């Protein structure tokens, strides 16, 4: 079983739609959680960190459920420019490396 | 300011050859990471440097892979006797400290024929 699991999609949604991505992680020692965005043939870039209390950045809301080892990302009022692959990422704290899911591909259609 | 840079951007080699991939981190970043990304997958950790020393090399797949960072800045990932399965995008990332955000370079796309 992979340490970080995501629905690979693809998710094809119309502009203005709300879309949610889910992710589960297997290592209960994980301490830090992130969503990264990766455009086609580009490097991953940090979208937002995820905190237990939930956090919001504009149209993006991230939530963490430590008991269920589950992370989510909600995108409201999606834009064409949101089309990308969204990577769920955890950090085990004592180990500094990031562990990535396989990514969920999103295409926002006009 | 300048981000993480990697050279070459593309490398095509033949099975059995030796390759070197270079990473220039953001100036002042003490932590440097190498990841490998295969098609349709997320990046997978290879090795992490804090300063000049490899603090964690647990992700290196076998002894054909080696990395150095002799002066605590530029790093080189070296792959001996390349195999077709080594074909992937090799990503380098750096961070100010080991608990700070990691910034990724554009990657080197390695193709082993």
Taking the CA of residue B44 and the nearest CA in chain A, the distance in Å comes to: 7
pLDDT at A82 over 70: yes
- Read off the pLDDT of residues A19-56 as tens digits, 9 standing for 90 and up: 999 999 998 888 899 999 999 999 999 999 998 888 99
Percentage of chain B with pLDDT > 70?
A: 99
- Read off the pLDDT of residues A52-77 as tens digits, 9 standing for 90 and up: 888 999 999 999 999 999 999 999 99
pLDDT of residue A7: 87
For the residues B4-31, what does the mean pLDDT come to?
97
Q: Is the CB of A87 inside 8 Å of chain B's CB atoms?
A: yes
Inspect the interface and report whether the beta carbons of B45 and A97 lie closer than 8 Å. Answer: yes
Q: What is the dihedral of CA B38, B41, B47, B49, to 10 degrees?
A: 110
pLDDT of residue B103: 94
Q: For residues B41 and A27, what is the distance between their CA atoms, to the nearest angstrom? A: 19
For the residues B71-95, what does the mean pLDDT come to?
97
Taking the CA of residue B81 and the nearest CA in chain A, the distance in Å comes to: 26
Inspect the interface and report whether the beta carbons of B104 and A45 lie closer than 8 Å. Answer: yes
């Amino acid at each position: 079983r992979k340490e970080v699991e995501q629905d690979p999609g693809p998710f094809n949604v119309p502009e203005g739609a709300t879309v949610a991505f889910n992710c589960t992680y297997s290592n209960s020692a994980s301490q830090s959680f992130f969503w990264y965005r990766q455009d086609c043939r580009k490097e991953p870039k940090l979208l937002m960190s995820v905190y237990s209390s939930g956090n919001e950045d504009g149209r993006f809301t991230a939530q963490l459920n430590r008991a269920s080892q589950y992370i989510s990302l909600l995108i409201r009022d999606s834009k064409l420019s949101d089309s990308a692959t969204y990577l769920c990422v955890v950090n085990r704290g004592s180990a500094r490396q990031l562990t990535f899911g396989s990514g969920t591909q999103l295409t926002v259609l006009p | 300011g300048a981000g993480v840079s990697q050279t070459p951007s593309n490398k095509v080699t033949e099975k059995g050859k030796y390759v070197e991939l270079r990473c220039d981190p953001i100036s002042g970043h003490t932590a440097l990471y190498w990841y490998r990304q295969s098609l349709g997958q997320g990046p997978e950790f290879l090795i992490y440097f804090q300063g000049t020393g490899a603090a964690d090399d647990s992700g290196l797949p076998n002894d054909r892979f080696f990395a150095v960072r002799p002066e605590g800045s530029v790093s080189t990932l070296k792959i001996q006797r390349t195999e077709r399965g080594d074909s992937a995008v090799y990503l380098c990332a750096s961070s100010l400290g080991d608990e700070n955000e990691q910034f990724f370079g554009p990657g080197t796309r390695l193709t082993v024929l």
